[in-house]
Amino acid sequence: MDREVLSGVHFMQGDIACAEGALAAGCRFFAGYPITPASEIAEKMAERLPQVGGVYIQMEDELASIAAVIGSSWTGAKSMTATSGPGISLMQENIGYAVATETPCVLINVQRGGPSTGIPSVHLQGDILQARRGSHGEYEIIALAPSSCQEMFDFTIEAFNLAEKYRTVVFVLTDAFVGHMREEIIIPEPEKIHRVQRKLPDPKASRTRLKGFLDEDVAPMPIFGHGFKTHVTGSCHNDTGQRNVIDAEALDYYIKRLKGKIDKHAHEIISVSQDMDEAKIALISYGSCYRAVREALNILKDEDMHQVGSFRLITIWPFPKIQIEQLARRVKTIIVLENNLGQITPYVEAAVGGEAEVIFLPPRVLGTLHDPYAIVDKVKEVIR
């Protein structure tokens, strides 16, 4: 149990797989607060982090949790928190701070029924736009959507790699369904796990003109404790971290460089999984909804119907606009399946731009998985 990577075959809960993924990625700091359906992640990290020389702290609230994660990340440690919608709501100010200061952080949102207290143990994909736009101001984040326990493990590692590479906030947007289900997962040998570490400045770099911020190709991170005399601020700043709260030009530069860092590398960050062949109907989904899509496709294949394919978003943000534009030119109809009232659907519609028909299909009852037969029926209706 003191191994960092529990290589082998396991029957594991999604939340636990996420925690093990974090450890396998090299996470050494977790600060969190109990919340259904994410508490299991905190509990597993509390048990495992001291075993591998890391630190777990239960903070007094979610604002403190994300603050501690950011503080820890500035010492060089891979740091994470896990919560659900209400917790992400509380964290928003500091999420913006992490993005603005280019602090690598991983945030797990095990989504539950909202708004407000809602139903803690019922899953909803209700926080997709919140991840993208929850904090104030103009900014970008990265968000991944696992649909299985294996992906909880794999995508958490990927989240850390993206956070380290792009010095930004990476969300893993899962939900109570995937978080609480149990499936077989395979954890590889440590040598087979690809880990990315943030770039650090040359130790001989000049301390007075050290550019640790606002580089679209990602500035080396001047972490604390190495004599870099780093100044980190959430105020508008320049590429040496020097604050400028006077000039609009400085604000313009600051916003555009932070966004540019993600935009410039969007093609490397965005990940979609397509199973389309020559299909003329595309089922767009992410996260737990994909499970129903896969089952619906199996049913259709059994009935010898091959006009339908799947287009799954692995990264929801940045949004795969170009990929969906290209998809729209190849198909006649796109059905967007989300367990909400349509959060990426308007983005899909905008990307499609009238090139294909877009239909939004939620589950019959929000907070449940789509009935695969309902998906099949919809497809058949479209074909007619």
Residue-by-residue DSSP string for 239-300: TTS-B--S-HHHHHHHHHHHHHHHHHTHHHH--EEEE-TT-SEEEEE-TTHHHHHHHHHHHH
Region of 65-73, 146-154, 300-308, 368-376 interacting with other proteins (CB under 8 A): 65-73
Least CB distance to other proteins at residue 213 (A): 13
Task: Name, in order, each residue with C-beta under 8 angstroms of 221's C-beta and a sequence gap of 6 or more.
Answer: 102, 104, 167, 198, 199, 200, 201, 212
Site track 218-257 with other proteins (rule: CB under 8 A), x = hit = ------xx-xxxxxxxxx------xx--------------
Task: Name, in order, each residue with C-beta under 8 angstroms of 324's C-beta and a sequence gap of 6 or more.
Answer: 284, 311, 334, 348, 351, 352
Site track 301-340 with other proteins (rule: CB under 8 A), x = hit = ----------------------------------------
Q: Which of residues 96-135 bind other proteins (CB under 8 A)?
A: 97
Region of 48-56, 126-134, 291-299, 322-330 interacting with other proteins (CB under 8 A): 48-56
Least CB distance to other proteins at residue 201 (A): 13
Q: Residue 343, interface with other proteins (CB under 8 A)?
A: no
Distance CA 150, CA 272 (A): 17
Q: Residue 70, interface with other proteins (CB under 8 A)?
A: yes
Is residue 14 within 8 Å of residue 178, measured between CB atoms?
A: yes
Distance CA 270, CA 319 (A): 7
Which of these, 26, 81, 83, lies nearest to 56 by C-alpha position?
81
Other Cβ atoms within 10 Å of 43 Cβ, number: 17
| Of the candidate residues 8, 34, 61, 182, the single one contacting other proteins (CB under 8 A) | 61
Least CB distance to other proteins at residue 341 (A): 31
Q: Residue 63, interface with other proteins (CB under 8 A)?
A: yes
Instruction: Say whether 142 sits in a helix, a strand or coil.
Output: strand
How many residues contact other proteins, by CB under 8 A? 44
Q: Which of residues 164-223 bind other proteins (CB under 8 A)?
A: 208
Chain residues in the site for other proteins (CB under 8 A):
2, 28-29, 31, 50-51, 53, 55, 57, 59-61, 63-65, 67-77, 79, 93-94, 97, 208, 224-225, 227-235, 242-243
